Amino acid sequence: MKFVDAAPISGTRRTGDGYLVTTARSVRTGIQLYAGQEVGRPDLAVVRVYRDAAEVFAPDSLQSFSHAPVTINHPDASVTADNWKELSAGEVSTAAKQDGDWIMLPLILKDKKAIEAVEQGKRELSAGYTCNLDWTPGTTADGQSYDAQQRDIKINHLALVDRARAGSQARIGDGASWGAMPVQQDSNKEKSMSDKPLKTVTVDGLSIEVTDQGAQVITKLQKQIADADAAQTKLISDHKAAIDAKDGEIAKKDAEIDALKGKVLDGAALDAAVQARGDLVVKAKAIAPDVKTDGLSDAAIRKAVVVAKLGDAMADKGDAYIDARFDILAEDAAGTEQLRGAITNLKPINSNDAAAQYEASRQKHLDRLTRKQA
């Protein structure tokens, strides 16, 4: 026997080739109501048909969904190899799987008209399937009574249909010619739901109609995504700033190292520096022997010497003045030292030596005069 069942299509997205990828749930477990005349029991106004999970999720049943064709509305007849090309707008792209009490179907739509229909609001998927009805009445595990049970469920196609309208015999789908459709259990509830105003919300470039509550949820999620993106952007920016700052510190340290390398003395320069320091200390000791030079810079040694030699008034003088006065004192000290050395090296005067030197000098003078007269 032929049946149809429906559920809304979930979110959609386009592939690079322009195809539409989406998901939908279909053929759930549990009890659904059918008009008796549609299932071969005109003696009953309503028939309670049970779908056991063991039947809905049986391997053969799930396998029948694989690559099942997707049509625009239900066709009048089953989809077969003879009419597949003209009826099919897409297919179940991968294996169907259980999703709670439902079967989850991943779909791909390749027909342009079908894709446009979905994007314009044709967003319910109605499964067309066959099964055997077992008219053995029974009770479900949770205590619900049923008149018949579906067995050997096999999918034939999945149809894109418009939203069902409420009414006393409202049906989901838009073609009763293919198979029996469930009767709405609460037409007033369906009517109240269909009468609720819808809002258009744009998600990933696609406009969809949702209830006010759905729009609030989507808006909240979009804000959370935007906040997360902003936080990530700030994190990246802060990270870059930290790296730039660290690079600046490294560059500064490299410059300091280069400067220190430039100040490192080679052997000759080091010898010259040691000689200059030694000369300065010698001069300082020659000028002011009591001045302590250990641990003092060259400039400090000069000032200490000048102050020691010329008085405390020199302490406030500038470096250039101190250097000039130190040089003068050093020259004076050097002259005094030379005089002291000359005096020290003088020999005592001997009167006999002096007389001999005088006589020798006089004799040389007489000899010169004699030669001239001759």
Residue 76: DSSP 8-state: S
Task: Read off φ and ψ for residue 131, nearest 5 degrees.
Answer: -160, 170
**Does residue 356 have a pLDDT over 80?**
no
Residue 16: DSSP 8-state: T
Which stretches does DSSP call E strand in the chain?
2-14, 20-26, 30-35, 46-51, 69-72, 88-92, 97-99, 102-109, 124-134, 138-139, 145-146, 148-161, 199-203, 206-210
**pLDDT above 90 as % of the chain:** 34
Q: Are strands 2-14 and 145-146 parallel, antiparallel or unpaired?
A: unpaired
**Does residue 265 have a pLDDT over 90?**
no
Q: What is the DSSP string of 78-100?
A: ---TTTHHHHEEEEE-S--EEET
Which pLDDT value is given to residue 263?
67
Query: Within the chain, how many helices (H) and strands (E) appear?
Result: 10, 14
Structure tokens, 324 = 């000039």
67-117 confidence digits (pLDDT tens): 999 999 999 889 999 999 999 999 998 888 888 888 888 899 999 999 998
User: Where does the pLDDT of residue 47 fall: very low under 50, low under 70, confident under 90, or very high at 90 and above?
Assistant: very high
User: Where does the pLDDT of residue 231 fall: very low under 50, low under 70, confident under 90, or very high at 90 and above?
Assistant: very high
The helix/strand/coil state of 77 is: coil
Least confident span in 13-17, 90-94, 132-136, 271-275? 271-275
CB 114, CB 108: distance < 8 Å? no
User: pTM of the entire structure?
Assistant: 0.47
Q: What is the mean pLDDT of residues 133-158?
A: 94
Contacts 24+ apart (CB under 8 A), 336-342: 337/286
What is the residue whose two structure tokens read 């015999």?
Answer: 169
Domain ranges of the chain: 2-185, 267-349
pLDDT greater at residue 158 or residue 263: 158
**Does residue 149 have a pLDDT over 90?**
yes
The helix/strand/coil state of 264 is: coil
Q: What share of the chain is helix, strand, coil (3-state, %, to 5)?
A: 45, 25, 30
319-354 confidence digits (pLDDT tens): 999 999 999 988 888 776 665 665 555 455 455 665
